[in-house]
Amino acid sequence: MFAKMTSRNRLTLPKSVMDAVGSAEYFEVEARSGQIVLTPVRIQRGDAVRAKLAKFGLHEGDIADAVKWARQAPTTKTSCKR
């Protein structure tokens, strides 16, 4: 099965390939051993993210606190000893 690259670096994937992997709007692209590897990426909806946070017992306030903590300027310098 072939696919042609256009002069604008656009590639149309065959319908049979898309049917095999399911519909995807985005793909992770990598070069591996001289090959181009496309992996479909499923963008999760907000509800799925909230469900995962709930699974770990995290709430919106926890996330806000974590972001606030991460944005704080360090108060003391630390050195790395080897």
User: What would the pLDDT profile of 22-71 be if each residue is shown by its tens digit?
Assistant: 888 889 999 999 999 999 987 777 777 778 888 888 888 888 898 899 99
Q: Which of 2, 3, 24, 21 is nearest to 12 (CA)?
A: 3
Q: Which of 81, 82, 62, 60 is nearest to 70 (CA)?
A: 62
- H-helix or E-strand spanning residue 40: strand 35-41
Q: Which residues contact 18 (CB under 8 A, 6 or more apart)?
A: 24
pTM: 0.48
How far apart are alpha carbons 46 and 41 in whole angstroms?
16
